[in-house]
Amino acid sequence: MRKVYLDHAGTTPLNPEVYSLMCEFMKNTFGNPSSIHSFGREAKKWVDKARRQVAELIGAEAGEIIFTSGGTEADNLAIIGAAAARRKKGNHIITSSIEHPAVLNTCKHLAKNGFDVTFLPVDHYGLVEPEQLRREIRPETILISIMHANNEIGTIEPVKEIAAVAREHGVLFHTDAVQSAGKIPVDVNALGVDLLTLSSHKIYGPKGVGALYKRKKVRLHPVVFGGGQEGNARSGTENTIGIVGFGKAAEIAARDLDSEFERTGKLRDKLIRGIEERISDVRYNGHPERRLPHIVNFSFSYVEGESMLLSLDMKGIAASSGSACSSSALKPSHVLTAIGLPYELVHGSLRMTLGRMNDEADIDYVLDVLPGIIAKLRSFSPLANKLTV
Amino acid sequence: MYNETVMDHFQNPRNVGEIDDASGVGEIGNVVCGDILRVYIKVKDETLDDVKYMTFGCGAAVASGSMLTTLAKGKTIEEAKKLTNKDVAKALGGLPAHKLHCSNLAADALHKAIDDWLSKTGKGDKPDGEK
């Protein structure tokens, strides 16, 4: 049976070039980068190179990259670290209602511990409105965190405009760029951000490693204490193997960004067009233009998401859904709820995310299989009023 | 996540559809939680001559509707009243723990369909202790 992986926003397979380099590194180099001796210096050389590679992907300097255990830890460090460092200035934080849980739940944690958090609503495309954000800024506002692009619907936020508003008011600005980095150009100086989160396994690097970009002179309190590694921002002996892989993955992502953007974008457009042509009562979730090249999200009326995922999986197609039944927390997607979808359409959502594992034949196969699956599930749906036969 | 029996009933759901001249209809669930299951019964001589269901729900909901209707068909009203969600889950060889309380409600829908039939026929006046 054909296998089609449409969950690249969930995670990606290791790039073979990354794999080879990691193997070479772990076979020969085991030193602790903090050690003075030759073993340590050799390991440090590799980590330094990876730091430059990651910095280059986002137009930063190597010294502005803090390696972490992943995107979630980088988000935690940015938000908790900045909030703690600026506590004397104020206690107000602004974020959006469609952030990744790594940001959302970190902010909620702070809200329970003396901070005041504003969760901005979004419009029905998932966009934050910069002028609305400006109106929420108070003298005690110390941090704004708005994601670069949304992981469920692919909408690209006006981060440059928001960063300008933040700067105007002397407020620190963080963005989670886990889904956008390596997919669209991300330049920390062009965007004007102070803090930016990256993850390795979304760009064909290994899991368990990520990074926080921290603009020079921005002060953060650490959240992990110990030996003072990573400029004292993140203690703990570096995950050298992971970092080496992340560096290589970042280098490849930068190298292939333009060609993959175009190739993936074409597949996305074909998939969207095909679904709209072949299936009735569908709703495209996201922005028609301000969007990532690899994320496609549709709601199919009258059918439930987990049933769709199971049916697709039996045909070898891997996707995801915002339905409550398909989440481990049994909660419907907060993103789809925030853009104003009724519950029925949140449960009936299907996210298909493209990447290097996909070609045109994959899209043809999905377009061949999906209409039948939807028709079958609708045939016994009590919500599909007299859609029978 | 689901065992083979569940997947079989999900892939080939038995007794899906509506009964046009149903003796009783019962529905359980809501769109907020994401599962709706509707059971139709046709009663002949105090026996479930036909049972069908429709569902908007996850794999467990589809499979439990399929198993419930399979178990209920041919049973007398009294026997059918005693069918529980637990019986359905057991006949399916078990369901994931987090699905038990939200997606395994087919027997409840059947009981509602029976109540509907009882009230329509005027047989439901006597207090019915069972829920």
Q: Is A325 annotated as catalytic?
A: yes
- The answer to whether residue B123 sits within a structural domain is no
Band (B124; pLDDT cuts 50, 70, 90)? low
Backbone φ and ψ of B84, nearest 5°? -120, 165
Closest CA to A235 of A220, A218, A252, A215: A220
pLDDT class of B130 with cuts at 50, 70, 90: very low
Say yes or no to pLDDT of B129 above 50: no
Does residue B129 lie within any of the structural domains? no
Is B35 in Cβ contact with A304 (below 8 Å)? yes
- Chosen for mutation from A302, A343, A347 (greatest number of chain B CBs closer than 10 Å) is A347
Complex-level ipTM: 0.91
Instruction: For residue B101, give the CATH number of its domain.
Output: 3.90.1010.10
Query: pLDDT digit string (tens) for A220-243?
Result: 999 999 999 999 999 999 999 999
pLDDT, one tens digit per residue, over A119-144 is 999 999 999 999 999 999 999 999 99
Chain B contact for A310 (CB, 8 A cutoff): yes
In this predicted structure, what is the pLDDT of residue B102? 74
B128 in any annotated domain: no
In a domain, B8, yes or no: yes
Q: How far apart are CA A387 and CA A302, in angstroms?
A: 10
pLDDT over 90 (residue B30): no
Answer yes or no: are the C-beta atoms of A192 and A344 closer than 8 Å.
no
How many domains does chain B contain in total? 1
* Structural domains of chain A, ranges and CATH numbers in brackets: 4-11+257-379 (3.90.1150.10), 16-253 (3.40.640.10)
Task: Quote the CA–CA distance of A112 and A109 in Å, as a whole number.
Answer: 5
A372–B contact, CB cutoff 8 A: no
> Between residues 12 and 71 of chain B, which touch chain A (CB distance below 8 Å)?
13, 16-18, 27, 31-38, 53-62
Name the residue with higher pLDDT: A321 or B99: A321
> A303 touching B, CB under 8 A?
yes
pLDDT for res A386 = 47
Which one of A26, A325, A361, A383 is the catalytic residue?
Answer: A325
- What is the rounded CA–CA span in Å between residue A333 and residue A315? 25
B73 CA: distance to closest CA in chain A (Å): 18
Q: Please indicate, yes or no, if residue B96 is contained in any of the structural domains.
A: yes
Whole-number pLDDT of residue A170: 97
**Residue A222's closest CA among A234, A240, A230, A209?**
A234
Shortest CA gap B69–chain A (Å) = 14
Residues in chain A with pLDDT values less than 50: 386-389
Report yes or no on B51 lying in a domain: yes
C-beta atoms of B58 and A326 within 8 A: yes
Overall average pLDDT of the B88-107 stretch: 89
Structural domain boundaries, residue B78: 4-118
pLDDT in tens, A141-197: 999 999 999 999 999 999 999 999 999 999 999 999 999 999 999 999 999 999 999
Is residue B62 in a domain? yes
Rounded to the nearest 5 percent, the helix, strand and coil shares of chain B are 40, 20, 35
Nearest beta carbon to residue A383 from set B36, B53, B98: B36
User: From the list A305, A344, A380, which residue is nearest B17 (CB)?
Assistant: A380
Across chain B, where does the E strand assignment appear?
24-30, 35-44, 47-56
